[in-house]
Amino acid sequence: MAILGAGSMLLAAALAAIPATAAGAQGAEELAKKLLVSAPFTGKGDNLPTDALSLNACLTAATELKGVNEFDSCADQNVGPVPESGKSPGYLQLTDTGDYDKGAAIYNHALPNKGGIEVTFAQYQYGGTGADGISFFLVDGDTDLTEPGALGGSLGYAQNENFDGVDGGYLGLGLDAWGNFSADTEGRGSGCPEDYRAPSYLSVDRNRAPDNVALRGPGNGKEGYCLLATTATSEKIGEYAYGDIYGTDFPESLRAETLADAKRVVKLKVTDGAHPKVTVDIDFMDGAGWTRVLEATMPFEAPDTFKIGFASSTGRHTDVHLIRHLRVETFVE
């Protein structure tokens, strides 16, 4: 399936065709699940799926240093309050709290979509000054997925003025502590129809909505990756040196000050159907269980196969970014 192969005119036509009440044709929640990927990331790396690629990510339980693009020890990536290197059970570490750090873990292996997708994982953001965030993304399975998209506020999924978005992008989930993933600034949102652009207050350079969850849709190169849904609100809650800060319709923080308090479990579900419905639920580990934080309808039918990835980065502001217990499942009759 070619996504955005004809540029923004195809995107506009597809978005315009979505029915107001579109949803998956099947009740995916009524179907059995088939496990496609299980990656706890708690060990030394010997149980990772074939075709899993590290791009400056590391495993905190690993004990051997191998190279920048290996799932190796984090002993040389230890700025800030990172987990103890070599101690099990560990984590997938995307960044420490070093300035302008980045990391990604991608799975360059096509997974079948048999009626819907459900992805769960634990994420941890803590220990710094709240930037940037973590993305999880799905791309068309025909794509040779070897690197993420633009980092910084684009969280490794969308584009910016200088770098392309991830190749063959289908859906990007931003767990956005700093607050730029929902903003159509820095080149994001190029070629998107008005109804799928950020609101005006997040189209002003440097304005942001911190502690926010957002979904961006299909894209290639510097076109697309349109904003589908966001927890950002129009309530101005403050200012900083470069712009205004807006609120988020969100019950708890995505991040914490310490690792002990930082665990948040995320569930992303994409239903079957011509215009799949996407839901995002988060367990904030406060005893309340799952909280529905976002819903959206996809502008394109999901591809028959897909590939997945995580990405994160820091800038002048930072956090430790960790992942654990990834599970990817599809639904079968």
293, 280 in Cβ contact below 8 A?
yes
The structure tokens listed for 103 are: 């990391």
The answer on pLDDT for 208 being more than 60 is yes
The structure tokens listed for 165 are: 């978005």
Classify burial at 238, counting beta carbons within 10 Å of its beta carbon; exposed 0-12, middle 13-18, buried 19 or more: exposed
Spatial distance between the Cα atoms of 309 and 141, rounded to a whole number of angstroms: 12
Percentage of residues in the chain having pLDDT higher than 70: 91
Predicted structure pTM score = 0.92
With bands split at pLDDT 50, 70 and 90, how would you rate the model's confidence at 138?
very high
pLDDT of residue 10: 52
For residue 27, the number of C-alpha atoms closer than 13 Å in the C-beta half-sphere is: 2
pLDDT digits (tens, 9 = 90+) for 41-63: 999 987 888 899 999 999 999 99
Give the Cβ contact number of residue 73 at 10 Å: 23
pLDDT digits (tens, 9 = 90+) for 114-131: 889 999 999 999 999 999
Mean pLDDT of 216-238: 97
DSSP label at residue 300: S
